[in-house]
Amino acid sequence: MPYEAKPLPFAELKGISQKTMEIHHDKLYAGYVAKKNEIQEKLAKLAASGELASANQTHSELRALKDGETFAVNGVYLHEWYFDVLGGDGVPTGALKEAIENHYGSLQNFLNYFSACGLAARGWVVLAWDSHDRELRVYTGDSHNQGGVWGAQPIIVLDVYEHAYFIDYGAERKTYIADFWKNLNWKKADELYLAAIQ
């Protein structure tokens, strides 16, 4: 079954324009969904064709498709997590807020750390529940298929690629990140946290 693009869970945001979201969701995210479907269809055909003997780590059709697959699939899922926690009132709440305060000393410490990670990363910042050591962790990625940690369930995902903010903020990524917090849907993030820790 082909994967279907999900609609945005909000109508508008503070600071981040409709134009940015149209490009980000309707063009870029939808493009990753289409590529995910295309690549996975090609992989199924290749696996069924009996041509797997040509697999090679320097270059092969299978290698190119597998590399594209993780880029496209993570491109889809990371964007869905990012869109999912936007459209809120920015007021921290729930068990997640408490867990953050316990782990990072205070909410402000966490916001400072996560925001700084947003300046240090080239692609993604993710507050995740790491199911291995059962702790909250902030992980970063420079690409959709770089930097992620398997077994760490995303809770708050921030896209820091320039396409996410350049139209509205120019090179002021810091202001974009400050506005990200103003738009954060903490209730949704809390639901994700509660589901992750189970």
Residue ranges binding Fe ion (CB under 5 A): 159, 161
In the complex with Fe ion, which residue's Cβ is closer, 122 or 132?
122
Report H helices in the chain: 18-21, 30-49, 61-84, 94-104, 107-120, 166-169, 173-182, 186-197
| Shortest Cβ 25–Fe ion spacing (Å) | 9
In the complex with Fe ion, which residue's Cβ is closer, 105 or 170?
170
| Shortest Cβ 181–Fe ion spacing (Å) | 18
| Shortest Cβ 10–Fe ion spacing (Å) | 16
In the complex with Fe ion, which residue's Cβ is closer, 69 or 80?
80
| Shortest Cβ 68–Fe ion spacing (Å) | 17
In the complex with Fe ion, which residue's Cβ is closer, 92 or 123?
123
Q: Which residue is nearest to Fe ion (CB)?
A: 159
- Cα separation, 88 vs 13, in Å, equals 9
| Shortest Cβ 138–Fe ion spacing (Å) | 18
**CA triple 82-123-144, angle to 5 deg:** 80
In the complex with Fe ion, which residue's Cβ is closer, 16 or 155?
16
Q: Which residue has the tokens 């945001």?
A: 13
Q: Which residue has the tokens 């993780």?
A: 70
Specify burial of residue 75 (Cβ count, 10 A radius: 0-12, 13-18, 19+).
buried
- Cα separation, 88 vs 76, in Å, equals 21
